[in-house]
Chain A
Amino acid sequence: MVNIHSTAIVSSKAHLGENVTISPFAIIHDEVEIGDNTFIGPKTVVYDYTTIGNNVKIFQNASIGHTPQDLKFKGEITHCYIGDNSIIHEFVTIHRGTAASLKTTIGKNVYIMDYSHVAHDCVVEDNCIIANLTQIAGHVHIYQNAVIGGNVKILQFMRIGKFCMIQGSRTINKDIPPYILAGTEEVQYGGLNSIGLRRNGFSSDQIQHIKKIYNYIFESKLNISQAKEKISAEFSNDPFAIEILAFINESKIGIISK
């Protein structure tokens, strides 16, 4: 049973799951799939090649799966995926991918607040929170459980590690490794995101452990490559050390400093 308001326009080609609500003046295009129990708010438009999971809520005036703001885009078929239980607030814009990666992906339980923008080819993993007005450029990868404050500008191709928290109103122009707080005017290492880690069930031992690793990177007088050597020598089999080193090694643009 689907609940579609009489003023809404829903393409007969769109696939709607059970118990979907489509509010007044919303528009659902042809190549759209919407899962069970999902709510589409008033005036929201869902464009072609968008797949939305179950229990998703999309509020007023959002624009989902529209064509990218990229001059290289030539109308190719690309996709936009929104995972189960995600919530998308008013006036949010999420664009579909370009030929570069063919898709924009929002994970499960993601919470995106008013006026935020997620550009083409971005990946936002599960449980992330993106506060008001945050503008995310193309090809950005935000790993799981990251929290981005309000009015943050994230430049293209940036990577934000998992369980990070970024203070509001910052400009992110370098990669941010996992588990940390990033803040101050030039985005910098601000210690561990200990509250977030605790809330997510990390034990004090684990937190102490991660802190030790970051002490070598940010609090010693070593440069990054010396710190990396020291960490791999001292924590050879430690999963956190392996993870952080792998993140740093994959960074194309360098990580933030202290």
Chain B
Amino acid sequence: MSNIHPSAIVSPNAKLGENVVVEPFAWIHDNVEIGNDCWIGPHVIIYDGARIGNEVKIYQSASISHQPQDKKYNNEETFCFIGDKSRIHEFATIHRGTSGTGKTTLGKSVLIMAYAHVAHDCVIGDNCILANAVQLGGFTQVDDWAIIGGSVPVHQFVKIGKHVIVGGGTKIGKDIPPFIMAAGEPIKYYGLNLVGLKRRGFTSDQLEKIKMIYKIIYDSHLNFSQAKEKLMNEMPEDIFAKEVINFMNLSTRGLIGK
């Protein structure tokens, strides 16, 4: 049984799950699917192509699945997926995909704070946090458990690895490999995200391993391709090394420096 305020506009073609609350003056368009137990705040507008999971909360005046800010976009049908238990705060804007990938995707339990922007074709993993006024360019990839501090602009096509934490107020123009802290002007490697990794149950042995990997990448005198080769030779079976090497192979904008 859904609870829709009489002043809200909900298209009869939209599919709403059980127990969805739609607050006053919200507007839900035709081609929209919303799961169970969601809360849609006042003045929120959800446009065509939105596919929203269960227990999602969307706060006042947020704009979900609107047309991409991309001149190439030509009204093709594209989507915006939002995973279960995610929270999207006031005035955040999340655009749907372009024909580039066809969709913008947010994982589960993602927290998007007020004024943040997620552009077309972005992919955000599970448990990520984007603090206030973070502005993601198109095609940005943010992997699981990454946290981006407030007011950070992110260049399009940037990749941010798992468990990364980025200091507030920095600018991101290059890829940030997994498990690390990044901050400064220009943005650079600041050691491992030890606090985050410990909170998520990484053992000291695992942390030592990851530290060794980043010593080779950032604290030897090797360039990135030499460091990659060294990792492949010295730690060929290590899962973390494999993950970091894989990230380096997929990087298109190059890694941040030290």
Q: Which residues on A are within 8 Å of B, measured CB to CB?
A: 7, 9, 25, 27, 43, 45, 61, 63, 66, 69, 71, 91, 93, 115, 117, 133, 135, 137, 151, 153, 155, 171, 185
| Residue B25, interface by CB 8 Å | yes
Given the contacts A91-B91, A115-B115, A185 and B61 also touching, CB distance less than 8 Å: no
Which chain B residues numbered 48 to 90 have a C-beta less than 8 Å away from chain A?
A: 59-61, 87, 89-90
Look across to chain B and name the residue whose beta carbon is closest to the beta carbon of A186.
Answer: B185
**Cβ–Cβ contact B111 & A69, under 8 A:** yes
Name the residue of chain A whose CB is nearest to the CB of B152.
A153
The one of A45, A69, A137, A171 that contacts B89, using a Cβ cutoff of 8 Å: A69
- List residues of chain A with CB within 8 A of the CB of B60: 45, 61, 63, 66
Q: Tell me which of A133, A135, A155 has the highest count of chain B C-beta atoms within 10 A of its own C-beta.
A: A135
Q: Is the CB of A66 within 8 A of B90?
A: yes
Taking A27-B24, A63-B60 as contacts, is the C-beta distance between A153 and B90 under 8 angstroms? no
Nearest CB of A to B22, in Å: 13
The yes or no answer to B193 lying at the interface (CB within 8 A) is no
Interfacial chain B residues near A93, Cβ < 8 Å: 89-91, 114-115
Q: How far is the CA of A66 from the CA of B114 in the complex (A)?
A: 11
Let me know if A71 and B132 touch, CB within 8 A. no
Question: Which of B41, B61, B90 is most buried by chain A, counting CB atoms within 10 A of its CB?
Answer: B90
CA distance A71 to B24 in the complex (A): 26
- How many B residues touch the partner, as a band? 20 to 34
Q: Are B115 and A66 in contact (CB under 8 A)?
A: no
Residue B113 is within 8 A (CB to CB) of chain A in the complex: yes
Q: How far is the CB of A95 from chain B (nearest CB, A)?
A: 9
Does B43 count as interface, using CB distance less than 8 angstroms?
Answer: yes
Q: Nearest Cβ in chain A — how far from B188, in angstroms?
A: 14
Which residue of chain A lies nearest to B112 when distances are taken between CB atoms in the complex?
Answer: A69
B133, A135: Cβ atoms under 8 Å?
Answer: yes
Give the residues in chain A near B61, CB-CB below 8 Å: 43, 61, 63, 91
B99 within 8 A of A: no
State A245–B111 Cα separation when bound (angstroms): 40
CA–CA, A7 and B8, complex, Å? 12
A residues within 8 A CB of B196? Answer: none
Separation of A153 and B132 alpha carbons in the complex (Å) = 10
Bits for B24-56, please: 1 = Cβ < 8 Å to A, else 0: 110000000000000001110000000000000
- Which chain A residue lies CB-closest to B113? A69
B147-158 CB mask vs A (1 if < 8 Å, else 0) is 001110000000
Considering the chains assembled together, what is the distance between the CA atoms of A42 and B6 in angstroms? 18
Whether B226 is near chain A, meaning CB under 8 Å from some CB there, is: no
15 contacts between A and B (CB under 8 A): A27-B23, A45-B41, A45-B43, A61-B61, A63-B59, A66-B59, A93-B89, A93-B91, A135-B115, A135-B151, A137-B131, A137-B132, A153-B150, A153-B151, A171-B169
Q: Which residues in window 103-155 of B have CB below 8 A to A?
A: 111, 113-115, 131-133, 149-151
Q: Which of B133, B149, B168 contacts A133 (CB 8 A)?
A: B133
Given contacts A43-B25, A133-B133, A135-B133, 9 further A-B contacts (CB under 8 A): A27-B25, A45-B42, A45-B43, A61-B43, A66-B90, A71-B111, A117-B114, A137-B150, A155-B149
B42, B150, B169: the one contacting A27 at CB < 8 Å is B42
When chains A and B are docked, how far (Å) is the Cα of A115 from the Cα of B113? 13
Docked pose: A151 CA to B169 CA in angstroms:
10
CA distance A9 to B8 in the complex (A): 12
Q: Which residue of B lies closest to A170 (CB)?
A: B169
Residues from chain A with Cβ under 8 Å of B89 in the complex: 69, 93
Q: A185 contacts B25, CB within 8 Å?
A: no
Question: Are B25 and A69 in contact, CB atoms less than 8 angstroms apart?
Answer: no
Cα A155 to Cα B111 in complex, Å, equals 18
- How many Å from the CB of B203 to the closest CB on chain A? 23
A155 touches B168 (CB 8 A): yes
B5 → chain A, closest Cβ, in Å? 8
Bound-state Cα–Cα, A104 to B25, Å: 27
Complex CA gap A27/B61 in Å reads 12
Contacting residues, chain A, for B25 (C-beta < 8 A): 25, 27, 43
Q: Which residue of B lies closest to A119 (CB)?
A: B132
A25 with B43: CB separation less than 8 A: yes
Q: Does B7 contact A (CB under 8 A)?
A: yes
Measured between beta carbons, the chain B residues less than 8 angstroms from A25 are 24-25, 43
A153 touches B169 (CB 8 A): yes
Question: Measured between alpha carbons, how far is A93 from B92 in the docked complex, in Å?
Answer: 12
How far apart are B24's CB and chain A's nearest CB, in angstroms?
A: 5
Residues of chain A lying within 8 A (CB to CB) of residue B42: 27, 45
Q: Which residue of A lies closest to B129 (CB)?
A: A71
A151 vs B151: C-alpha distance when bound (angstroms): 8
Hey, which chain B residues are within 8 Å of A153, CB to CB?
A: 149-151, 168-169
